[in-house]
Amino acid sequence: MRRATRKIKLDANHRAVVSELRQRGIEVVEIMEPVDLVVAKNGFSGFLELKIEGSKANFTRTQLTFIAGTKIPVAIAKSVPDALRFLETGIGLSQTQKDALAGILAKNPAQKLWTANTIERLLNT
C-alpha cells in the first residue's frame, strides 16, 4: 500500500543554513514538521523554524500551535547568525511571545495561515 506524501517546500535559506551549521560541528536533524530543525551543540538542544527576511513565507496553524506550546527552547531564524545566537545563548522565544502566539490562534480559530511578517510584528511588540 502506498502512502500519500506531501511535498514540503523548503525556505530558500534552508540548505545554506543547515550546511553552515553542520560545518561548524552543530548536530542538525531536519524534521520539517511541525518546525524545520532540531539543533544541538555542547549539551544544548532546541527547535529552529527557518524563515526568509521579508519573504512571503507563511506560518501554519500547526507550526504556531507547536511553537506556542512546547516547553523546549524554540527560535525563528532568518540566517546563520540568528541560528548561532540561539545555540550560543539558549535564548529563543520567551513565554510572553509564546503566549502572544497562543492568543492569535485563539482569536482566529478558523484561520490556517499567517504571514511571517504578521508573526514577526506580533513577536516584536
**CATH numbers and ranges of domains, the chain:** 14-123 (3.40.1350)
Amino acid letter for position 102: A
Q: What are phi and psi of 102, to 5 degrees?
A: -60, -35
pLDDT digits (tens, 9 = 90+) for 70-125: 999 999 999 999 999 999 999 999 999 999 999 999 999 999 999 999 999 999 98
How many whole angstroms separate alpha carbon 14 and alpha carbon 33?
A: 14
Q: Angle CA(62)–CA(117)–CA(30) in degrees, nearest 5?
A: 45
Q: Full-prediction pTM beyond 0.75? A: yes
